[in-house]
Amino acid sequence: ELVLRQSPGTLSLSPGERATLSCRASQSISSTNLAWYQQKPGQAPRLLISGTSIRATGIPDRFSGSGSGTDFTLTITRLEPEDFAVYYCQRYGTFGQGTKLEIK
Amino acid sequence: EVLLVESGGGLVKPGGSLRLSCGAFGFTFSSYIINWVRQAPGKGLEWVSSISTDSRSIYYTDSVKGRFTISRDNTQNLVYMQMNSLRGEDTAVYYCVREDVITKSFGLWGQGSLVTVSA
C-alpha cells in the first residue's frame, strides 16, 4: 500500500519568502500521477499541480512542482498572503497528511 | 459554469443511513470518473470511493466497504453515495470530485456536504 509522507508538517514563513514542500512516497511512483492541492479554511481543495509539474488552469507561475521516483517537491517562490494554506500531495486514492504553510 | 453540487448531508445517529447526491453542471458528466473524498473535522483528506463512467468499475476504501454504495445516473448527471451503518468516524465533510481523464488528478471539487454521526 502506497503511503505519501509530507514534510514539514508546518512551515512558518513570511510573505516574499520561498517555500519548499516535500512529498515522499513509500515506493517509486510514476510522475504522471502525482498532484498537489491547496486548501484554505472552510473551502474545498483546489488542484494546483498535476503530473508532478503541470500547473492547473489559473495557477500563478510562482507555483512549481518537480520530482521523480519517490521524492516530489512543491515550490512556491515569493509567497503572497493568499498562499498561506494547507497543501496536500496525492496519487490516485492516496493523499499525504498535508503541510500547513503559516505566516511567520 | 462548470460545477459539482453536493446535497443530502446532515445529522444521523450511529447505525443510521444517509444518501448523498452530487449534481454535475456545465460539462459532459458521462465522460468522467467521479470520486468521493472526505475530510473529518480538523483532519486531512481521505479518498472514499470512485465510480467509472459506465459504472462497471467501482472502488471503496476499506473502512467503508460493505456499508457505502456509490452509483451514478448519466441521464440525470448525478452521482450518489448511499451510506449505511454509519459510525462516529464517518463524521466528515464529503466532497464530490471529478477525476481528470489523462492525469487522474482531482481537477474539480464540489463545495462539500457535512455528515455528522452522533447520538
- Band (pLDDT 50/70/90 cuts) for residue B4 is very high
Average pLDDT, chain A: 97
Q: Per residue in B47-60, pLDDT tens?
A: 999 999 999 999 99
Show the DSSP H helices in chain B as ranges.
Answer: none
Q: What is the CA radius of gyration of chain B?
A: 13
Largest Cα–Cα distance in chain B?
43
Determine whether the interchain pair B95/A44 forms a contact, defined as Cβ–Cβ distance below 8 Å.
Answer: yes
Higher pLDDT, B103 or B95: B95
Which residue of A lies nearest to B61 if distances are taken between CA atoms?
Answer: A93
Grid coordinates representing B94 are 464529503
Minimal C-alpha gap between B112 and chain A (Å): 7
Determine whether the interchain pair A88/B45 forms a contact, defined as Cβ–Cβ distance below 8 Å.
Answer: yes
Task: Name the helix (H) or strand (E) containing A74.
Answer: strand A63-76
- Band (pLDDT 50/70/90 cuts) for residue B106 is very high
As a whole number of angstroms, the distance between CA A32 and CA A69 comes to 11
Average pLDDT, chain B: 97
Q: What is the mean pLDDT of residues B21-35?
A: 98
Put the strands of the sheet holding A19-29 in their side by side order.
A4-7, A19-29, A63-76
Neighbours of A74 (CB within 10 A): 28
Determine whether the interchain pair A93/B107 forms a contact, defined as Cβ–Cβ distance below 8 Å.
Answer: no
Q: Per residue in A47-81, pLDDT tens?
A: 999 999 999 999 999 999 999 999 999 999 999 99
